[in-house]
Amino acid sequence: MIRKPLPPLVANMAPSTPAKPVAWLPDTKLQPTPSKEYAVYRHRASIKIELTRPNNRNALTAPMVDELQALYERLAQDASVFRIYLTGQGKVFCAGMDLGASGSATSADEKQHTAGLRKFQSLLRAIEGAPQPGWAFPLRHLPVVAREWGVPLFRSATLTAAPLPASRLHASGAIYALAADNAELQGALCAELETTLSACAPGASAVCKELAAVAWRSPGGEEQDETVTRRYMEMMAPSKEAKFGIEQFRKGVRTVDWTKLGEGNGSKL
């Protein structure tokens, strides 16, 4: 049985009723030319980027990294996009960089190794920099693993080199859910997650992501204090998102369609 994780960034309870299947359609504006390495889909305010190299464990080639970084940087500036899902075909989400494709697996060229690492790190920063909640991160990037798993579990796993089943990560809260196979992952669980996230205010989601990031970078530090203070003052001030949410609440709407917030001359959240 295959066990495959969903994202670690959501703490909401699952909907009480089964979610409707998500109709993902190819986004020809973001990806006008089809690629054998990844595909880009859209559903309303959500984007799904699917890695399509299962035979290579979805390892990232250098051109893929450049293209994905450019795509994430573009999406970060797109006010119509609230959520970005990053997933992959097959049993492995992403095996990291494709060292064999560039010849760096056996190369002794330090500059080549460093350039590859910097390229990979730039992609991770682009994913982190997108204001929307992200889906997942390549687990070979150790600082990210320490942050997402928690230091105690990370220390235990790296020192013992013992197999770490997905069930343990699920129990620790490091991943959102487990699927029996890829069909369930891309179908029912993805639909459930999309239903849950679509009910969340996009600006509030971005704030939650920023607060989580600064809690890792600067726990109890000056940067965290500044971020919390700034975000608190923004929260207390009038905003288009707050006004819209309150209006929906007063109308008795419990599942808000946040895509309507962007109608008219709305600004980036």
- Report the alpha-carbon distance of residue 114 to residue 109 in Å, rounded: 9
Backbone angles phi, psi at 11, to 5 degrees: -120, 5
Predicted confidence band at 126 (pLDDT cuts at 50, 70, 90)?
confident
**Of 222 and 236, which is predicted with more confidence?**
222
CB 227 within 8 A of CB 233: no
Cβ-defined contacts of 119-126 (< 8 Å, 24+): 119/62, 119/65, 119/66, 120/60, 120/65, 120/96, 122/65, 122/69, 123/60, 123/65, 123/68, 123/69, 123/72, 126/68, 126/69, 126/72, 126/73, 126/76
186 DSSP assignment: I
pLDDT tens profile 231-256 = 989 888 889 998 999 999 899 998 89
Least confident of 25-29, 98-102, 171-175, 180-184: 98-102
Radius of gyration, alpha carbons of the chain: 19
Angle among Cα 269, 19, 210 to the nearest 5 degrees reads 25
Is pTM beyond 0.75? Reply is: no
pLDDT tens profile 10-35 = 334 444 567 788 899 999 999 999 99
Q: Is the pLDDT of residue 9 over 50?
A: no
